[in-house]
Amino acid sequence: MTPERYRRITAVLDRRQPDLTVLLDQVHKAHNVSAIIRTCDAVGVFRAHAVTPADVFRPNRHTSAGSGKWVEVCRHDSVETAAAALRAQGFRLYAAHLSDRAVDFRTLDYTAPVAVVLGAEKLGVSDTTLDLCDGEITVPMYGMVASLNVSVAAAVVLYEAQRQRAAAGLYDRPRLDPELYRKTLFRWGYPRLARQFEAAGRPFPAVDLPA
Q: Report the alpha-carbon distance of residue 202 to residue 6 in Å, rounded.
A: 23
Q: Report the alpha-carbon distance of residue 166 to residue 159 in Å, rounded.
A: 10
Angle between helix axes 30-43 and 150-167 (nearest 10 degrees) is 10
Lowest-confidence pick of 13-22, 79-88, 90-99, 114-123:
114-123
Question: Which of 95, 35, 96, 105 lies closest to 71 in space, CA to CA?
Answer: 35
Those residues whose C-beta lies under 8 Å from the C-beta of residue 92, and which sit 6 or more positions away, are 112, 113, 114, 115, 134, 135
- In this predicted structure, the answer to whether residue 100 has a pLDDT above a threshold of 90 is no
pLDDT of residue 141: 84
pLDDT of residue 48: 96
Mean pLDDT of the chain: 88
Those residues whose C-beta lies under 8 Å from the C-beta of residue 79, and which sit 6 or more positions away, are 23, 25, 51, 126, 128, 129, 132
Strands of 47-51's sheet in order across = 72-76, 47-51, 20-25, 114-118, 92-96, 135-138, 103-104
Cβ–Cβ under 8 Å, residues 71 and 107: no
pLDDT of residue 137: 95
pLDDT of residue 63: 47
Amino acid, single-letter form, for residue 79: V
Intra-chain end-to-end CA distance of the chain, in Å:
17
- In this predicted structure, the answer to whether residue 129 has a pLDDT above a threshold of 80 is yes
Domains contained in the chain, CATH given? 1-16+177-211 (no CATH), 18-167 (3.40.1280.10)
Band the pLDDT of 147: cuts 50, 70, 90: confident
Give the model confidence (pLDDT) of 157-198 as tens digits.
999 999 999 999 999 999 999 999 999 999 999 989 999 999
3-class secondary structure, 110: coil
Question: Which of 39, 194, 210, 49 lies closest to 118 in space, CA to CA?
Answer: 49
- In this predicted structure, the answer to whether residue 22 has a pLDDT above a threshold of 90 is yes
